[in-house]
Amino acid sequence: ARITLRQLLDHAAENDYGLPAYNINNMEQGLAIMEAAEAVNAPVIIQASRGARSYANDVVLARLIDALCELYPHIPVCMHQDHGNGPATCATAIQYGFTSVMMDGSLKEDGKTPADYEYNVDVTRRVTEMAHACGVSVEGELGVLGSLETGMGEAEDGHGFEGVLDHSALLTDPDQAVDFVAQTKVDALAIAMGTSHGAYKFTRKPDGDVLAMHVIEEIHRRLPDTHLVMHGSSSVPQELQDIINQYGGEMPQTWGVPVEEIQRGIKHGVRKINIDTDNRMAITGAIRKVLAEKPGEFDPRAYLKPAKEAMRKVCMQRFQEFGCEGQA
């Protein structure tokens, strides 16, 4: 059954667990997520980016989600817009049955350029008014996540972030977070805490303290009713890099966010944990393996089924690691 993000994360907060939010682009990913959830009886957050919506087509995606909910009527499913870039994107998501939207006002409508605080507050507040009127939850974002596209700055207190970060992120300022939530009334808040999107997060193996745990702790202490969201939460497992590279891929060595760090975050109020890269890697590794081992194969099911299986394994593991088992 469909459920809002607020309902799911309230339950997660009351029961001290975190929920992975997996990105969807196609049927195989949808089935992988639901089969994993079914296996461990976990609630589900499925999210679609703007790119996913245009790739799969809104109508196809909406019917796919309907089908997944019909197949697993006992699993609560939140359908979430990932990185909405403006009111129009969020409004059309709601029209297609999404029960939650992210208004990412940390960036301008182009989804690339960092936006100023006033713009973020204004656009997020307008989206929250509209979404809440429709019974839909809202995630906002404050602070700029590290990414190769936007380039990296310094922490807002002027100090570079000390750690294994390749590029220091603009860590979210707790005072500003309190003001932002008061003005926008968002249900969940994505904060910059040391992660970045994609596979290339860290160039060295993290030896603890990857995340700005003090920032997470302080924001959670001052905003106990706002659920914290961790973007860029893929762990980029070594074994998935190895499979890709063993079968013809060329991914330079890289490190992601250790699962133990995410588990520490969950203890301090992180409730939604966005994961896309790990699933992309699982799928690609499985497909490369089949195509390398059976060069004569041309039935897409021969590689898409193992691809779905590989993603199902990753999803199931994260459900277990984040404490979702039995919470559906």
Residues belonging to the active site: 82
Residue 143, C-beta contacts closer than 8 angstroms, at least 6 positions apart:
106, 156, 169, 170, 171, 172, 173, 191, 192
Minimal distance, residue 133 CB to ligand 13P, in Å: 25
Q: Which two tokens stand for residue 105?
A: 């006002």
Binding to ligand G3H in span 271-310, by CB under 6 A: 276
231 near Zn ion, rule: CB under 5 A: yes
The answer to whether 139 contacts ligand G3H (rule: CB under 6 A) is no
Dihedral sign for Cα atoms in the order 164, 169, 171, 172: negative
* Of 50 and 132, CB closest to ligand G3H: 50
Count of Cβ atoms closer than 10 Å to residue 192 Cβ: 26
Residue 57 engages ligand G3H in binding (rule: CB under 6 A) = no
Name the 3-class secondary structure at 147: coil
226 binds ligand G3H (CB under 6 A): no
Other C-beta atoms closer than 10 Å to the C-beta of 50 total: 16
Instruction: Give the x/- contact pattern for ligand G3H in 75-94, rule: CB under 6 A.
Output: -------xx-----------
Amino acid at 286: A
Minimum distance from residue 1 beta carbon to ligand G3H (Å)? 26
Give the binding range for ligand G3H (CB under 6 A) out of 48-56, 132-140, 160-168, 236-244: 48-56
233 binds, among Zn ion, ligand G3H, ligand 13P, none (CB under 5 to 8 A by kind): ligand 13P
Reduced to 3 states (helix: H, G, I; strand: E, B; else coil), residue 137 is strand
Report the Cα–Cα distance between both ends of the chain, in Å, rounded.
11
Q: Which is nearer to Zn ion, 144 or 287 (CB)?
A: 144
> In the structure encoding, which two tokens stand for residue 252, read together?
């330079």
Q: By CB under 6 A, is residue 52 in contact with ligand G3H?
A: yes
Give the residue carrying structure tokens 């070594």. Answer: 238
**Structure token digits, residue 68:** 């997944």
* Interatomic CA distance for residues 313 and 269, integer angstroms: 26
Q: Name which position in 19, 21, 23, 107 contacts ligand G3H (CB under 6 A).
A: 23
Q: What is the DSSP letter of 19?
A: E
Interface segment toward ligand 13P; rule CB under 6 A; list 165-173, 177-185, 269-277, 296-304: 269-277
Using an 8 Å Cβ cutoff, are 289 and 306 in contact? Answer: yes
Supply the minimum distance, in Å, between the C-beta of residue 127 and ligand G3H.
18
Query: Least CB distance from residue 3 to ligand 13P, whole Å?
Result: 20
CA angle 157, 159, 161 (to 5 degrees): 110
Q: Does 275 bind ligand 13P (CB under 6 A)?
A: yes
Residues that bind Zn ion (CB under 5 A): 231, 274
Residues that bind ligand 13P (CB under 6 A): 23, 82-83, 197-198, 231-234, 274-277
Residues that bind ligand G3H (CB under 6 A): 23, 49, 51-52, 82-83, 197, 276
